[in-house]
Chains A and B, each alone.
Chain A
């Protein structure tokens, strides 16, 4: 494991940046705003205001969020002088873009507006690779994923499998990067995220009545919880699964979140609790002055913040009552 003072500059810079994260107070004010415009105005008073230049209407708020994320990636790249941290965030966007392009290639339709520019691979490069079916220009993780997905689609013709394969490959690539960074904390954090995703996949697979083969395919590798735990539980009632998780750290997520799925059939609470659990893990970063925890914590905090803003803005635009929005609101980092 590298020395824990390796990213000291970045860590303390992040400490200073943490003070600019949105506080509960701002979020409450956005929530209490009477309209989407009002909510956006509250956001404009914060640090996000600097990205408001490209804003034409409230519907463009996603642009602001994207440019904010871009800024965060740049700060972390600059301060750590190590692109692997943001690589882990950018990979997700790259894989998203690859999904879009593969699907639109098979549909023969245009994909504009669905891709994001937050990835590491330029969109044109990826579009060309997909069009010419020559993936050599892509990073190896994307290349491998694209080849597998294309081969599978030619055979199965199932777009869902494109997503499933790419998701699996994405997390394999993330795990590899985490191992490469060398800090146990990064790996541990990723494994926790994988566990929570797997719980979500399991519950939803069960809800739609899919079989064990589907589940095995969909589950992500490298989690702390064994895949067989999920597969074996597929034919048992969810209550048994909750009991099985009660010995793990996910006890609370299971007891409240999965119970809510049993009671109401809705995954809303489970997803909120999962995100909060992950944020809780990330919060370790607030209390350490060394290592990488503050970096992954801040990245997660920022992504979480973007999610919160999105929930509020979409809710406000669609005139969803405040309590419905609040139900879905995630915890905050600060």
Chain B
């Protein structure tokens, strides 16, 4: 590979400085990556637990739903649910984990009155199995939101880890070796110049001595 660099002493000093910075940066990034991965693994574990929990509850809600659908006609079921009454207010904030901006979803607590009022239908021609399904779904919502939060955080972290790793790799395998190469090149070039100079000087000295003696 051709190395295009000015083999000057100034350049050499500059490169040496840069190499130092790069090595320092590499170490820092490496530490960051390790920490990120540690946090990420924790989050993924939490995510898995949450997801399993939510999925279990969702399955039971859907089972209730299917059974409610079985004992009621499709039209009555849809009519019962066409006008939703349940309302949830959420706050979204930001949190900084290792310079990754992640969302924090906060469910505003519903009051008791609202909790009873999640049913949007009359009871005369509907089945109690529907109440169960709605109840489970309504109870699952905070967990679903938490799951959304954790999953999004995981995604963002994963992207950050990827980015960091790329940087670390770039530093480790390209930037730093290249700089070392360049420094070596400049040093060699400078040394050669030095030697050339020395030889020249010696040659001149010899010539001057020969002329002087003549």
CA distance A111 to B160 in the complex (A): 47
Q: Which residues of B contact A318 (CB under 8 A)?
A: 66
Taking a contact as CB atoms under 8 Å apart, the answer to whether A320 and B66 are in contact is yes
Nearest CB of chain B from residue A221's CB, rounded to whole Å: 12
B108: Cβ under 8 A from any A Cβ: no
Q: C-beta contact mask, B72-93 vs A, less than 8 Å → 1, else 0? A: 0111101110110100000000
Taking a contact as CB atoms under 8 Å apart, the answer to whether A328 and B71 are in contact is yes
For chain B, what secondary structure do more than half of its interface residues adopt (helix, strand, loop), or is it mixed?
A: helix
Q: From known contacts A158-B85, A266-B129, infer whether A114 and B73 are also in contact, taking CB-CB under 8 Å.
A: no
Nearest CB of chain B from residue A305's CB, rounded to whole Å: 13
A208: Cβ under 8 A from any B Cβ: yes
Interface bin, chain A: 35 or more
Q: Which residues of A contact B125 (CB under 8 A)?
A: 92, 96, 167
For chain A, what secondary structure do more than half of its interface residues adopt (helix, strand, loop), or is it mixed?
A: helix
Taking a contact as CB atoms under 8 Å apart, the answer to whether A208 and B82 are in contact is no
A104: Cβ under 8 A from any B Cβ: yes
Nearest CB of chain B from residue A181's CB, rounded to whole Å: 21
Q: Closest residue to B119 on the A side, CB-wise?
A: A160
B212: Cβ under 8 A from any A Cβ: no
Taking a contact as CB atoms under 8 Å apart, the answer to whether B71 and A208 are in contact is no
Taking a contact as CB atoms under 8 Å apart, the answer to whether A208 and B79 are in contact is no
A268: Cβ under 8 A from any B Cβ: yes
Q: Which residues of B contact A104 (CB under 8 A)?
A: 82
Q: Which residues of B contact A (CB under 8 A)?
A: 66-67, 69-71, 73-76, 78-80, 82-83, 85, 116-117, 119-125, 127-129, 131-132, 135
Q: Which residues of A contact B (CB under 8 A)?
A: 62, 65, 92, 96, 99-100, 103-104, 106-107, 109, 111, 113-116, 158-160, 162-164, 166-167, 170-171, 197, 200-201, 203-205, 207-210, 218, 220, 261, 265-268, 270-271, 307, 310-311, 314-315, 318, 320, 324-325, 328
Further contacts, 10 of them, CB under 8 A, given A163-B80, A167-B122, A311-B71: A65-B73, A96-B79, A109-B82, A116-B75, A200-B128, A201-B124, A207-B131, A209-B116, A268-B129, A320-B70
